[in-house]
Structure 1
Amino acid sequence: MVAVVAMLLTERMPFDPVLSGIAERFKLGGQEVAGDETRLRMSSNGHFFADVTLNGVKRRMLIDSGATVTAISQRTAAEAGLKTDRSIIPVIIQTANGAVRAETGTIAELRLGNIVARDLKVVVSPAFGSVDVIGMNLLSKLKSWRVEGRTLILTPNHPQAVAAD
């Protein structure tokens, strides 16, 4: 029984702020800044998640090299003070769950470890639910990114000081 509960909690950690805090405390996942690199350990579900701030708002985001553009939920957009660009022509994007309508916007500042992205284009849609995703429009701007074993290593062109929590 204990093993089943532990497995369920481990699977849920990336999506729950309370559980992810426990995971961080016991070094069960999370990220580490080492020199000029930010290292993210693979979660138990095989994905990489990063603790970021979007316009000063803390979020846990999925790193998805299969996503062309960074995508955020409507809740995250609202809390980060993002104003979307309402267009007469709708933006339709292809997701793993099919085509969805989205609005575009710009995040003034995204911080992930020693990485700072400014004026980052994003898409916002109710179809994303509560999932926020960092896509290739950020990853492709880095000096490099790679996976070694169960660690994603992100190297910025110009490392920044890590903001104190």
Structure 2
Amino acid sequence: MRSVSILFASLLLLPALAQAASMVQVVGLFPGAAVVNVDGQRKLVRVGQTGPGGVQVVSADASGAVLRVDGVERHYNLSREYSGAYAAPSKTQLSVAKGTGGHYWIAGAINGQSIQFLVDTGATSVAINEHQARRLGIDYRVNGRPMVVSTASGTAKAWRVHLNSVKVGAIEVLGVDAVVVEGGSPTEALLGMSFLGRVSWREEQGVLVLESKTS
């Protein structure tokens, strides 16, 4: 009778386990990283790292992510967060007037640390110099990929890095590619297309309008 009771209790646990597994969602996809939601807790997790609830990201690309949950690997497509805890996403807008030299300057943050950006639509990615990277706590020599970039004074050694977040105003983008340039150039952090390409932007009579994208 005792063995039957144990078996019956185990069978009762199966629906609960299945329900727990269904709470794992992929709510953001980036090259080599995914934003996972486990029981309402969201985090950007790179391939090979472990996120909330011990969920591991095995691979991630535009088509989806492979997660290892409780030792079992499964492919997850991008999903929307429709539950009582989340409201439908709304767009956030930011307007910036032209500043010194006819440029757009925006106060923002990288990985939660404040920084002043110069908007540069000609830059392929967010760019900072090595001194700014050290102040922001970015270990670019360890986590970055060496490369060479062209500057106004010639070529320079640089490192391609992956930022957890870039934020201007109330607009935040997770998983942004950036370049750390050796030396003191660029003197101002450049807000390039690795961020601008992930938001909507337009110029209206000397005003730059940025707007978040909903997915």
- Map residues 1-165 of structure 1 onto 2, 5 A cutoff: 36-84=92-140, 90-125=146-181, 126-142=183-199, 144-158=200-214
How large is the Cα RMSD of the aligned pairs?
2.4
Q: Is the 8 A contact 1:100 1:127 kept in 2?
A: no
Q: Shift of the alpha carbon at 1:86?
A: 5.1
Code of the residue aligned with 1:42 in structure 2: it is K
TM-score, length of structure 2 as denominator length = 0.52
TM-score, length of structure 1 as denominator length = 0.67
The SS at the match of 1:72 is: strand
Number of the residue aligned with 2:58 = none
Code of the residue aligned with 2:208 in structure 1: it is L
- How many residues end up aligned between the 2 structures? 124
CA distance in 2 between partners of 1:131 and 1:97 (Å): 16
Code of the residue aligned with 1:71 in structure 2: it is A
The SS at the match of 2:131 is: helix
Deviation per CA, 1:87-137: give whole Å up to 9, x if none.
9x8411223443222112122121101211112111111151532101011
Deviation per CA, 1:57-104: give whole Å up to 9, x if none.
2111100000011101212211221121559x8411223443222112
CA distance in 2 between partners of 1:131 and 1:66 (Å): 15
CA distance in 2 between partners of 1:97 and 1:47 (Å): 21
Gaps of at least 5 residues in structure 2 are 1-90
The structure richer in strand per residue is 2
CA distance in 1 between partners of 2:193 and 2:131 (Å): 22
Gaps of at least 5 residues in structure 1 are 1-34, 159-165
The SS at the match of 1:45 is: helix
The SS at the match of 1:110 is: strand
Code of the residue aligned with 1:133 in structure 2: it is L
Q: Is the 8 A contact 1:108 1:119 kept in 2?
A: yes
CA distance in 2 between partners of 1:92 and 1:86 (Å): 17
Q: Shift of the alpha carbon at 1:37?
A: 1.0
Higher relative contact order (CA 8 A, sep 6+): 1
CA distance in 2 between partners of 1:130 and 1:42 (Å): 19
The SS at the match of 1:128 is: coil
CA distance in 2 between partners of 1:106 and 1:48 (Å): 24
Q: Shift of the alpha carbon at 1:44?
A: 3.2
CA distance in 2 between partners of 1:71 and 1:40 (Å): 20
Q: Is the 8 A contact 2:166 2:195 kept in 1?
A: no
Name which one, 1 or 2, has greater alpha-carbon Rg.
2
